[in-house]
Structures are given as structure tokens and as C-alpha cells.
Amino acid sequence: MIRVHLAALVAACCALAFPAHAQDRIDVVTTTTDLRSLTEAVGGERVAVVSIVPAGMDAEEYQAKPQDVSRLRNARMIVRVGLDYDLWAERLLLQAGNSAIRRGGPGYVDASYGIATLEVRGMSVGPGDGHAHGNGNPHYWLDPKNAEIVTGTILEALTRLDPANARSYQANRSAFLARLQLKLAEWEAKLTSLRGMPLVAYHNSWPYFARRFRLDFVAFIEMKPGVPPSPAHLAEIIRSMRARNVKIVVREPHEPKRDVDFVAGKAGAAVVTLAASVGALPQAGDYIALFDANVAALTATAP
């Protein structure tokens, strides 16, 4: 009798903690933490999402690991950034041999679908061009408005895989977008003081963010995306910062502190550390917190 009682208690407690049974959840693999956060916003308790690139790592320089292949083998859905940002995922998908999530499969999601890409140059990346941005600037999740498109694409895929719960996914997405809409107004209001102010960043992660909030990134410390600066390039950056009175240099936590501190010091500018991905800063724990953290950091440093 006592045993039955205990089992019933355990069952009741677990049902409370996990309304969708863990084994029923849809296993989703995303290439980045940003897409993990957006997938969780739509999927809620019905999805179990892991990001291949851990928080705080540069996804454009990611070296795949054997565990990534086994994750993809067992996944029902993959969500990737596309636009050559996570090209390494191609090989992983081939190795995993999971037909459900290969390109064209029911669980394959390229989150760049429907996004208006910035900085498309219509030329291929040559050997001296660095690794990145050959297909336009891929950092589109840094415009919160683009989350509407991305969550729409994710909603479509989840509905395809799990039509019985379509309404719940729609409701999750609507609630998330309503919250995002309110936050966007708050972020826009807070960043008005930085409008038109010239900024320099290490890597060109910011055109979508800058367009949304009317910021003005005038130069980048990298020679080209993925190519570290030469001494001559650093000197040129310092000259143009002085000429244009640039007072803020933006750095992401994984970027070399030495180069950023050097140009900021020479030009008399402050360094602001921003998260270009969820988890890159401890306070940027999810998609909305990412913008909260960046807006707070920028407004705290604005002269």
C-alpha cells in the first residue's frame, strides 16, 4: 500500500514539474544559442533544445566535435543561421546521415529564410578574405524585429513535425512577440541618446542592430571579417577615430582585448563589451536579456 502511495506521489510531482513528459519532447539542435533561445520561445515545454556552439564561443570559428554528430543523429529538427555563418554544419549533417533533418527534410530549418540580408556584395570569398560574410552579413538576429521572421519559420517547422500542438506553439510565439514588442519600444527610447554617434567595433556583427537603433558604426578593427588587424590598419583606425571623434569601441567577450584596448587608449575612447549572442555575457541569458544587457552597457558608457 505504502509503495503504491509513493509511486502515485512521485508521478503527481513529476507531472507538475514536467507537464510534457521528457520523452515526448521534440529534440531540436540549433547551431547557436540565439536560435536555441528563439526555438524555446516557440516550443516551450514541448521541445528539448541544445546549441552546438556553446555560449561565449565564436560561432564563425567553431571547430566541430564528435558529440555534435551524435546529437544530430538523434535530433528531429535542426535550426541553423545560414548565410555561410555556420557552414561547418553542412559536414556535420552529412556525417549524421539523419534524413529528417537534412536540407529539404521536414526538420531542416534555415532561419535566414525570409530575412532581408544586409551587405550582400555579390562576390565570392577569396583566400585572403577571411572566413566570413561572403553571402551578406549573417548577424541578422541582432535586429529584434527579425525575431518575428525567425520565430515564424520555427513555428512552421514545429507545426509540421507536431501538428497536434500547433495551437500551443502559436500561443507561445504570440506571447513572446508581444513581450518583445514592448521591450523594443523601451530599447529604442533608451538608445536615442546614442543616435548618430560614431562607433568602432572589432568585428562587423552590428549592421542589423545599428539599423534598428540608428547607431553609426564607422570602422572595424579587423581588416576584414575574420582577419586580425595589421599594425598599419590599427594606426589607420586610430587616425580615423581621432578625426571623427569616436568615443566608444565595441568589443565582444571572445575578441582580443589587447587590440581593442590599444586603439581605445590611443584615441581616448571607452571600451563597451557587448554580447552578439545569447550567453556571451552572463546577464545575456536569453534573447530578450541579450538586448537588455547591450542597451544597458551602451547607455552606461555613452558620454
- Write out the residues near Zn ion by the rule CB under 5 A: 132, 225
Whole-number Å distance between alpha carbons of 126 and 144: 32
Min dist CB 80 to Zn ion, Å, is 15
Q: Which of 40/255 has CB closer to Zn ion?
A: 255
* Rounded to 5°, angle at Cα 38 from 109 and 248: 115
Residue spans of alpha helices (H) in the chain: 2-17, 33-43, 66-73, 88-96, 146-161, 166-191, 207-213, 231-244, 257-267, 287-301
Min dist CB 276 to Zn ion, Å, is 8
Gyration radius from the chain CA atoms: 21
Residue position matching grid coordinates 515545454: 45
Min dist CB 82 to Zn ion, Å, is 13
Whole-number Å distance between alpha carbons of 22 and 118: 40
Min dist CB 42 to Zn ion, Å, is 25
Q: Give the DSSP letter of residue 136.
A: B
Q: Which of 55/132 has CB closer to Zn ion?
A: 132
Q: Which of 32/151 has CB closer to Zn ion?
A: 32
Min dist CB 77 to Zn ion, Å, is 25
DSSP 55-120: TTS-GGGPPP-HHHHHHHHT-SEEEE--TTTTTHHHHHHHHHT-TTTSTTSTTEEETTTT---BS-
Q: Which of 142/154 has CB closer to Zn ion?
A: 142
Whole-number Å distance between alpha carbons of 263 and 230: 12
Q: Which of 131/244 has CB closer to Zn ion?
A: 131
Min dist CB 201 to Zn ion, Å, is 11
Q: Which of 122/196 has CB closer to Zn ion?
A: 122
Min dist CB 274 to Zn ion, Å, is 14
Residue 48, H or E segment: strand 47-51
Q: Which of 40/252 has CB closer to Zn ion?
A: 252
